[in-house]
A and B are shown apart, each in its own frame.
Chain A
Amino acid sequence: MNHIKLLFFATIRDRAGTKSMEVDIPADMTILQLKEKIGTDYPNLKESLKSVLITINREYAFDEAVVPTDAEIALFPPVSGG
Chain B
Amino acid sequence: MTQFPTIYSITESEIDLNDLLAKITLTSTGAAAIFAGMVRGVTSRGDSHETEYLEYESYVPMAEAKMKQVADEIREKWPIVEGIAIVQRIGKLYPKTPTVLIACTAAHRDTGVFDAARYGIDRLKEIVPVWKKEIGPDGQEWVEGDYIPKPGE
Contact = CB atoms under 8 A, between A and B. Distances in A.
Interface string A50-63: 00010100101010
DSSP class of B's interface residues: helix, strand, loop or mixed? Answer: mixed
Given A58-B65, A60-B151, A82 B129 contact: no
B94 interface: no
B130 interface: yes
A76 B129 CA distance: 8
Contacts of A62: 151
Interface in B88-138: 88, 99-100, 121, 124-133
B58 A81 contact: yes
Interface residues of A, number: 18
A81 B145 CA distance: 8
A65 to B, nearest CB: 9
B37 A80 contact: no
A78 B151 CA distance: 15
B143 interface: yes
A7 interface: yes
B46 to A, nearest CB: 15
Contacts of A14: 142
Nearest to B143: A80
Contact of A81 (B125, B133, B149, B151): B125
Contacts of A7: 59
B142 A82 contact: no
A55 B56 contact: no
Interface of A: 7, 9-11, 14, 53, 55, 58, 60, 62, 74, 76-82
